[in-house]
Amino acid sequence: MIPSTHSKFVRHPLLVVLTFFLGHACSVSPPGGVAAASAVVMPLTKLARGERLYRDGLRADGTPIAAIVAGDIRVQGTQFTCVSCHQKSGMGSSESWLVAPPITPQMLFAPLTQGPHRRPAYTHETLGRAIVEGIDPAGQELEAPMPRYDLSADDLDDLLLYLATLSAEASPGVTPEEIHFATVVAGEVDATPMLEVLDLFVDEKNRNTRNETGRARRGPFHRSNVNESYRRWVLHTWKLGGSPDTWTEQLEEFYERQPVFALLSGITAGQWDSVQSFCEERKLPCLLPNVDLPPEGVSEYTLYYSRGLRLEAARIAEAAGEGARPKIFQVFRKGTPGGMAAQALQTELARRELPPAVGIEIPARRPTSHGDLGDIDLGPLMEAPEPSLVVLWGSPADLTLLANQGIRETGAGIIVSSTLLDGSLSDLPPALVGRARIAHPFRVPVDYARAARRVELWLQHRGIETGTDVGAAHRRVQLQTHFACMLVGDAFMHIKYDDYFRDYVLECIDHMSVIANFCASHPSLSFGPGQRFLSKGCYLLEPDELAAGPKSVGERWRVP
């Protein structure tokens, strides 16, 4: 369903009473910015019950509530949850002719004076009647798809109290004039390509829309909902240094100094776990960071391009389980992204009940000018039985050294990681060209160049060096950062008046599938509620397919 929009907030006396009650019935979270009042946190026993009813259709004891839809069809609340139509934000949605209206307190407790379904403001009693009997304050019957829930008086009281918290105040990081973003630079990493694009995009957006505030004052009334939603973008850079164990504390300090509405892009050469955990705790959207190894587990508030190296590992494990199951070896450096990818492959093999891979560890990094890999023992590989498969989790320099040590002469099949080549198949060492298959979660090179052309022209015309001259890693970060900016900018076009709610923006993004064609780095993006990895598939390209177009190798793209 597509997120709904609604008319301008109207403060109602009953909303003031509910806010007063909530403020005295619960503790208060840390401050959230100039215009964003502190979010209220109900005692767990009360808020959790109402939230569980709204999101899961379950009572406190875990049993599902019952409901009737379309007049006489009995269903369980788990089949028709409130959140599935009205969304986490309470801002509603639409599907074809069916509209699930916003149910935020600003809307419920204000009269509807326009449109076909005019009604007085809801009260506690009339809202309970609407939920249980399907009758609004004007005595009109609600649409048939709206369930009539069988709720006890206590269940109904819990649910009504939770509804009063839905998008009740603007999210932190928003003022009447500005909206604040931050981008995170985690650890020792070259953030230049990301920061150049972010600074340029934010500057152009502010200059191109600087007249919106004037239009809001002088424009026609029927455009005020759009013009009044304009906010100037302010970007902050949060640089995290030292041990990753201290990153959460550093993030808290940055946030307390200046709350932000969302994290925009971001970059790391290592782990992102601390940032994701911080965002989950703060319910802070983190939108498309440049991360090749996202944390395991489910995230509500961090949106990634793909599972990165974990996706490659899953695709390789899937291929290993097809046909004659080979003995698997993997070569990696411990403590590097390649080492973490090797762990991910072991997990994926175990999940498919396949034998674990034999690990061959490259010693601690040493200058590649030495021309060797230290004391690594490739003997087991050179004597590998048939059939066998060796996965090389290495950088271009490591792959060159392995090839020079004769690994291409082994009878085993070879797979290399495209992510560790920064998505550039041209960086594959010549000794492995025609010999190695590529796990590749990006657009194929021909398609990549075509899709990147528009963004690169935009950058070149603004004096930023780009294209193949800047290197594969630099180029990919530029392209991914630009798409993240485009996505957020387009999502904000759905915002009307002061509806700056974090959950609502994420819901808007969940339905922005049209913009997928503008992503230069990844193909086949898919959007949807709760989906936090936009690109879910990965190529496993044969040696002779590196120069092929996307139509020629379509069957190599799989979602493992």
475: pLDDT strictly greater than 70: yes
pLDDT number for residue 318:
95
Is the same domain home to 144 and 260? no
Is the same domain home to 9 and 90? yes
In a domain, 522, yes or no: no
213: pLDDT strictly greater than 60: no
Domain boundary among 133, 163, 193: 163
Amino acid, single-letter form, for residue 538: C
Is the same domain home to 127 and 203? no
In a domain, 40, yes or no: yes
> 43 is in which domain, residue-wise?
2-163
Which residues, 6 or more positions from 490, have their beta carbon under 8 angstroms from its beta carbon?
512, 515
Q: Phi and psi for 79 in degrees, rounded to 5?
A: -85, -30
Q: What confidence tens digit (pLDDT) does each residue in 94-146 have? A: 887 788 899 999 999 999 888 788 999 999 999 999 999 999 999 999 988 89
Is the same domain home to 195 and 159? no
Is the same domain home to 18 and 156? yes
Mean pLDDT value across residues 284-296: 95
In a domain, 472, yes or no: yes
457: pLDDT strictly greater than 90: yes
Pick from 26-30, 100-104, 385-389 the range whose average pLDDT is largest.
Answer: 100-104
Q: For the chain, what is the domain count?
A: 3
In a domain, 369, yes or no: yes
Rounded Cα distance between 422 and 445, Å, is 12
Q: Phi and psi for 64 in degrees, rounded to 5?
A: -75, 145
Helix H segments across 383-501?
Answer: 396-404, 445-460, 472-492
Is the same domain home to 241 and 259? yes
15: pLDDT strictly greater than 90: no
In a domain, 289, yes or no: yes
Q: Give the model's confidence band at 529: pLDDT under 50 very low, under 70 low, under 90 confident, else very high.
A: confident
Is the same domain home to 436 and 479? no
Q: What confidence tens digit (pLDDT) does each residue in 44-81 have? A: 578 889 999 999 999 988 899 999 998 889 999 899 99
Is the same domain home to 23 and 106? yes
Which residues, 6 or more positions from 73, have their beta carbon under 8 angstroms from its beta carbon?
none
Tell me the CATH number at 491: 3.40.50.2300
- 276 with 300: CB under 8 angstroms? no
Paired tokens of 288 = 């498309």
Is the same domain home to 333 and 395? yes
Helix (H, G, I), strand (E, B) or coil at 93: strand
Rounded Cα distance between 498 and 13, Å, is 20
pLDDT number for residue 373:
59
Tell me the average pLDDT of the chain: 84
Is the same domain home to 434 and 317? yes
Domain boundary among 112, 137, 163: 163
In a domain, 536, yes or no: no
Q: In what order do the strands lie in the sheet with 2-3?
A: 2-3, 93-95, 98-100
Domain boundary among 138, 163, 188: 163
In a domain, 18, yes or no: yes
- Whole-model pTM? 0.85
Rounded Cα distance between 495 and 241, Å, is 35
Is the same domain home to 319 and 414? yes
Paired tokens of 57 = 């259709």
Is the same domain home to 489 and 511? yes
In a domain, 541, yes or no: no
Whether omega before 441 lies within 30 degrees of 0, making that bond cis, reads no
